């Protein structure tokens, strides 16, 4: 029997399963098809119903996965063969080359010189990227990646560009890498956390997606809402850059529809409620949500729905018949099923909450794994004592949206359940040695380092962060102060570690989010830097300063 577990998919479910397994003594192989782990959650601005910053929750977990000695990340990889049985699976994995080595420092010098400009998938193609790029700002693995099929150095159409190679100081760009390599691993069990895709709204012609730039999908709106998005968090119409006064949010676009996907996508209701709330928070005066049914089934969901109603969002039960351009606006004809009236109205922007569907090529993966799909195209889950986690093959378990649409809390809960079942097939477990921590007695003269987080717009939207940093520099015993976009992200955690070592810092102050959620993260940073973790103080600037004084900005 093996001591390893294969986790397929690096979204929030795969990340949580990997961490739970590694902390339980398993050796984890995490396979992710994209260049970075993070999945759909990395794209989101805030999570419902608490409106916590999405990447602030996920980035520390991503960083922990990247730094955990028991987790091996194989990005740009797909499983191509599985043999054996529970307790001893032999897995063949095909990994594509990054063409950038792990020595990449993320300096970014290669990006300006690259002549190839492409749509940025992370920003829903509303911004651009280069052929050499980092997939997301908080990417794990952190090395840049070359989109070789678009690069001018692509061998079939070779043009001797080499500009990025010349700009790279550490010389870590290598176009001589083999396009792919085969990796084999032996594991005792497998957790499938492949996530979901979204329906292409072009298929519903009457909603006009693609005919007018102000008809957006929910993911496109999500990128407009985030301060790290293409507009810096400003809600503007793609057509003319103006702020919309009236926005319509349409639910169940392709869901619960016999023509497309007969099932409910489950979390669309609540993220559309979140979007309505955020749009009003961004200054949109009139927000209407057009729905079939509203399913506020989770903890705090109904309260958030009522809060959004009280703030002024209008909820109309009905379905749109058509969306079309009309003299700089969007004319929408829809049915109000409660008043039984057909209504014609005009909006500045329309947002389509598209159906959740199984990932592309999930069928190919299930054939390789030897498991079955259900009638909707997701992985068939078998009822066991732990719930709908087991698949139709012993030793293989499904978590998150791999077996059907689920929100983040449900996906994380299933990841933990899948990890616990996967552990039963392992021969033994091993735990890494705890790092040495300096005792408190040996630290006398304070040398304080202060790190102030922007947290996107959560803090920087209200607090003048650079001014706070300059003030911190004047305080007694402060030897270093700096601001950071997201202090909890992997690259910024490394900045704190480097500053502790290079500046001789022996006391750390982090002005960021709540210590209830983030103190453990920064204590681990201190441990990795060789400091006692209790030499940390956190200032809850987000909750106790920024959020409570938002109206005063």
Residues 124 and 141 in one domain: yes
The answer to whether position 174 is within a domain reads no
Q: Which residue in this structure is represented by tokens 């997201």?
A: 486
Task: Report phi then psi at 130, rounded to 5.
Answer: -100, 170
Comparing 206-220, 263-277, 431-445, the range with the smallest average pLDDT is 431-445
- Residue labelled with tokens 């001797």: 160
Q: What are phi and psi of 481, to 5 degrees?
A: -145, 135
Q: Starting at the edge strand that comes first in sequence, how are the strands of the sheet with 349-354 ordered? A: 215-217, 349-354, 246-253, 286-291, 314-326, 329-336, 341-347
- Measured CA to CA, the distance from residue 391 to residue 163 in angstroms comes to 49
**Integer Cα distance of 544 and 192 in angstroms:** 40
* 409 and 295 together in one domain: no
Q: Does residue 42 sit within a domain?
A: yes
Confidence class of residue 155 from pLDDT cuts 50, 70 and 90? Answer: low
Count of residues making up the chain:
553
pLDDT tops 70 at residue 156: no
Of 423, 452, 480, which closes a domain? 423
Q: Residues 457, 497: one domain?
A: yes
Task: Tell me the CATH number at 538.
Answer: 3.40.50
Within 10 angstroms of residue 470's Cβ, the number of other Cβ atoms is 12
368 band by pLDDT with thresholds 50, 70 and 90 = very high
Q: Do 114 and 153 lie in a common domain?
A: yes
Token look-up 């955990």 returns 68
Q: Is the pLDDT of residue 553 over 80?
A: no
Q: Examine residue 53 and state whether it is found in any structural domain, yes or no.
A: yes
Please give the C-alpha separations between residue 302 and each of 7, 287, 305, 371, 508, in angstroms, as whole numbers.
Answer: 34, 19, 5, 37, 40
Domain that holds residue 444: 440-552
Tokens at residue 38, please? Answer: 């993070």
CA 525 to chain centroid, in Å, comes to 22
Q: Could you give phi then psi for residue 92, rounded to 5 degrees?
A: -100, 130
Structurally, how many domains does the chain consist of?
4
Residue 511: its pLDDT value, please? 95
Q: Is the pLDDT of residue 157 over 60?
A: no
| pLDDT of res. 485 | 87
In the predicted structure, residue 444 carries a pLDDT above the cut 80: no
Q: What is the pLDDT at residue 552?
A: 76
Residue 271 lies in a domain: yes
pLDDT-wise least confident of 30-44, 466-480, 526-540: 526-540
pLDDT digits 0-9 by tens, 400-420: 999 999 999 999 999 999 999
Residue 209 sits in the same domain as residue 345: yes
Kindly report, residue by residue over 343-352, the tens digit of the pLDDT. 999 999 999 9
Shared domain check, 352 and 364:
no
In the prediction, which pLDDT does 386 show?
65
Confidence of residue 458 (pLDDT cuts 50, 70, 90): confident
* Predicted pLDDT at 152: 85
**Residue 505 maps to a domain:** yes
pLDDT, residue 158, reads: 61
* 249-305 tens-digit pLDDT: 999 999 999 999 999 999 999 999 999 999 999 999 999 999 999 999 999 999 999
Q: Do 21 and 91 fall within a single domain?
A: yes
Structural domain includes residue 224: yes
* pLDDT at residue 547, rounded to an integer: 83
Note whether 312 and 280 are within 8 A (CB): yes
Question: If you average pLDDT over residues 206-231, what whole number do you get?
Answer: 95
Identify which of 362, 289, 397 has the alpha carbon closest to the alpha carbon of residue 13: 397
Nearest C-alpha neighbor of 334 from the set 313, 309, 314, 316? 316
| Whole-number pLDDT of residue 348 | 98
Same domain, 366 and 398: yes
Q: In Å, how far are 274, 287, 496 from 301, measured between CA atoms?
A: 10, 19, 37
Q: Is residue 30 part of a domain?
A: yes
- For residue range 82-133, list pLDDT tens digits in order: 999 999 999 999 999 999 998 888 888 999 999 999 999 999 999 999 999 9
Residue found under tokens 């007969």:
262
Provide the mean pLDDT of the chain.
Answer: 93
Q: Point out the least confidently predicted range of 214-223, 266-275, 313-322, 538-547.
A: 538-547
Q: How confident is the model at residue 34 (pLDDT cuts 50, 70, 90)?
A: very high
- The whole-number pLDDT of residue 385 equals 66
- Please check whether residues 346 and 205 belong to one and the same domain: yes
Same domain, 369 and 413: yes
CA angle 358, 364, 370 (to 5 degrees): 105
64/190 same-domain check: yes
Comparing 39-43, 179-183, 370-374, 544-548, the range with the smallest average pLDDT is 544-548
CATH number at residue 72: 3.50.50.60
At residue 298, the pLDDT reads: 92
Please tell me whether residues 241 and 314 are part of one structural domain: yes
Give domain status of residue 104, yes or no: no
Could you give the CA distance from residue 251 to residue 319 in angstroms, rounded to a whole number? 8
């Amino acid at each position: 029997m093996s001591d390893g577990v294969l986790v397929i998919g690096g979204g929030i479910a795969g990340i949580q399963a990997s961490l739970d397994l590694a902390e339980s003594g398993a050796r984890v192989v995490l396979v992710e098809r994209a260049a970075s782990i993070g999945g759909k959650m990395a794209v989101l601005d805030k999570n419902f119903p608490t409106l916590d910053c999405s990447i602030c929750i996920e980035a520390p977990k991503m960083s922990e996965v990247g730094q955990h000695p028991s987790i091996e990340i194989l990005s740009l990889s797909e499983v191509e063969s599985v043999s054996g049985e529970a307790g001893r699976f032999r897995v063949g994995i095909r990994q594509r080359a990054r063409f950038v080595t792990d020595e990449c420092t993320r300096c970014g010098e290669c990006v300006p010189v690259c002549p190839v400009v492409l749509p940025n998938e992370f920003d829903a193609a509303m911004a651009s990227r280069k052929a050499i790029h980092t997939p997301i700002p908080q990417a794990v693995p952190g090395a840049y990646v070359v989109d070789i099929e678009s690069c001018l150095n692509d061998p079939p159409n070779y043009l001797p560009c080499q500009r990025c190679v010349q700009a790279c100081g550490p010389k870590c760009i290598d176009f001589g890498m083999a396009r792919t390599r085969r990796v084999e691993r032996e594991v005792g069990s497998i957790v499938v956390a492949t996530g979901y895709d979204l329906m292409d709204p072009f298929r519903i012609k009457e909603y006009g997606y693609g005919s007018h730039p102000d008809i957006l999908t929910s993911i496109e709106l999500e990128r407009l809402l985030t301060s790290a998005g293409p507009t810096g968090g400003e809600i503007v119409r793609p057509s003319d850059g103006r702020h919309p006064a009236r926005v319509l949010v349409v639910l169940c676009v392709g869901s619960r529809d016999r023509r497309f996907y007969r099932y409910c996508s489950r979390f669309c209701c609540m993220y559309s409620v979140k979007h309505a709330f955020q749009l009003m928070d961004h200054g949109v005066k009139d927000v209407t949500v057009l729905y079939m049914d509203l399913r506020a089934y989770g903890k705090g969901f109904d309260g958030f729905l009522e809060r959004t109603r009280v703030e002024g969002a209008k909820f109309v039960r009905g379905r749109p018949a058509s969306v079309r351009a009309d003299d700089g606006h969007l004319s929408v004809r829809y049915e109000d099923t409660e008043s039984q009236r057909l209504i014609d109205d005009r909006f500045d922007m329309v947002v389509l909450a598209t159906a959740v569907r199984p990932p592309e090529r999930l069928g190919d993966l299930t054939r390789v794994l030897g498991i079955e799909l259900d009638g909707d195209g997701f992985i068939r889950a078998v009822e066991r004592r732990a719930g709908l986690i087991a698949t139709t093959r012993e030793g293989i378990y499904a978590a998150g949206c791999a077996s059907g649409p689920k929100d983040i809390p449900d996906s994380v809960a299933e990841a933990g359940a899948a990890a616990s079942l996967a552990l039963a097939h392992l021969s033994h477990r091993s735990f890494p040695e705890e790092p040495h921590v300096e005792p408190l007695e040996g630290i006398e003269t304070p040398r304080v380092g202060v790190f102030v987080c922007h947290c996107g717009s959560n803090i920087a939207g209200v607090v003048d962060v650079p001014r706070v940093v300059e003030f911190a520099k004047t305080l007694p015993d402060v030897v270093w102060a700096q601001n950071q976009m997201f202090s909890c992200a992997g690259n910024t955690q490394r900045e704190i570690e480097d500053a502790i070592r290079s500046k001789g810092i022996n006391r750390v102050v982090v002005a960021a989010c709540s210590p209830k959620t983030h103190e453990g993260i920064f204590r681990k940073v201190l441990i990795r830097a060789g400091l006692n973790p209790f030499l940390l103080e956190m200032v809850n600037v987000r909750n106790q300063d920024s959020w409570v004084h938002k109206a005063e900005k």
